[in-house]
Amino acid sequence: MRLWGGRFAAEADEQVAAFGRSIDVDAELALDDLDGSIAHVRGLGRAGLLTTDEVATLEQGLVALRADVESGSITWDPALEDVHLNLETMLTERVGTVGGKLHTGRSRNDQVATDLRLWSRRACDRLDVALVAMERALVELAERDGDAVLPGTTHIQPAQPVLFAHHLLAYVEMLERDRDRFVAARRRLNVSPLGSGALAGAGYPLDREATAAELGFDAVSRNSMDATSDRDFVVDMLAGAALAMVHLSRLAEELTWWSNPRFGFVRVSDAFSTGSSMMPNKKNPDPAELVRGRTAGVIGSLAAMLTLIKGLPLAYQRDLQEDKAPLFASIATLEASLAVMAGVVETLLVDPERMRDAAEEGYTTATALADELVRRGVPFRAAHHIVGGLVGGAEAEGVRTLAGLPDEAYRAALDGSDDPTARNLAGVKGIARALREAATVEGSLAAADVTGGTAPSRVADQLAAAKARLQAG
């Protein structure tokens, strides 16, 4: 018998019944539903709505059901719509008519809201562990091969040389923000809706605070209508997941390009690559590509959830049944993506020579050379113009780097400047050598000696700070 069917004279149309079923999705909430029910039963006992024996009987039945769910021995009945009715029916079959008292003072509206918050809280905790593992993989790679020099780019064009460790630690910063987002999401969602009923609040003197504390919530909801219809926390979770996937996708994009033999900066392990069914030569970084591709689905889930709730009046509407599939799928995708990308990074082989060779292309030390002129009193705009002329001359002469220019080129560039300080520098003994040293990759790296910069000592500080954060948890 339908647990809600007392006022209905006709059976539901089979298509309607099938259309409304959610057990294939919300069975994921079974353990959370049982935890919530156990706490609710104890609350009913405290309120005098159940005898001590009834509390014991129901609690024993629920604990036994929990063990069966954990062992995978439960068979779900699609005719019972959802996980809540399935579990209540199973309980009643085991303990008898007292099972009919379980739902006293509770609606599926506050029940599912509680379940989903409990599930989301566990998901936040799992994601923090997975994010930390990904950060550790990046930090370990930065320690192992971080002194390699990478061509930093803007507009996908050569810009300035950076340490490979500096580049990797940029992703560590992104992932730290992801961790912070899920910590904040967990804090906001850790409020108990249980006792809100369908929308107006339970009709019994339930101690909501005691039940909330038993379930590990920090507080109880202040408004029953908001409590049963609020899915902001689902949006929080999806927003955090979408942005974390975007960060992984950016790294996946770079690894895909870097592993192309034309770049040759890195080699992805065979264990994290696939081949072609047609071309025997192929070695494809498929896991990274799939992470990049599945990011689209998580972004789509966020858009879908925002669209789902944008037109809903208070309080609960059945539309909210559709909140779980995108949430569950997106969190599973993020967890799997973090694990596979950590594996890719942990097994990555780096070619420092290829990186260094590329870092010297495109006159990437030009900014450091201009800065050296500024340190010697030349206005930056004049220095910019002088170095631009040196770059143009090197290109015309086929000289690959600014450090490869002869002394005469430096002196001529200074002497031909409109700036008097620059012209005076042209006659300074050893000036060409000093500028040439500033124009080396090492000189360029060393010059970025500010907090957060790519100077080796500053990157060492960043690395030490990242390790300390991860060790602290």
Beta partners for 157? 154
Whole-number Å distance between alpha carbons of 168 and 174 = 10
Tokens of 212: 């909330």
Q: Which of 37, 73, 120, 155 is catalytic?
A: 155
* Contact present, 71 and 247 (Cβ < 8 Å): no
Burial letters for 303-318: b for 16+ Cβ neighbours within 10 Å, e otherwise? ebbeebbeeeeebbee
Of 279, 426, 291, 440, the residue nearest 369 (C-alpha): 440
Residues whose CB falls within 8 Å of the CB of residue 261, separated by 6 or more in sequence, listed in order: none
Residue 384 and residue 369: Cα distance in Å, rounded? 9
Q: Which of 120, 156, 129 lies closest to 32 in space, CA to CA?
A: 120
Q: Is 167 designated active site?
A: no
DSSP letters, 169-190, are HHHHHHHHHHHHHHHHHHHHH-
Count Cβ atoms below 10 Å from residue 468 Cβ, excluding itself.
9
User: Rounded CA gap, 285 and 194, in Å?
Assistant: 47
- Determine whether 155 is an active site residue: yes
245 CB neighbour count, 10 Å cutoff = 26
Q: Choose, from 22, 196, 247, 276, the residue flagged as catalytic.
A: 276
In terms of Cα–Cα distance, which of 345, 411, 412 is closest to 141?
Answer: 345
Alpha-carbon distance values, 37 to 66, 73, 79, 192 (Å)? 11, 20, 21, 13
- Give the span between the Cα atoms of 334 and 131, in whole angstroms: 10
**Which residues are annotated as catalytic?**
155, 276
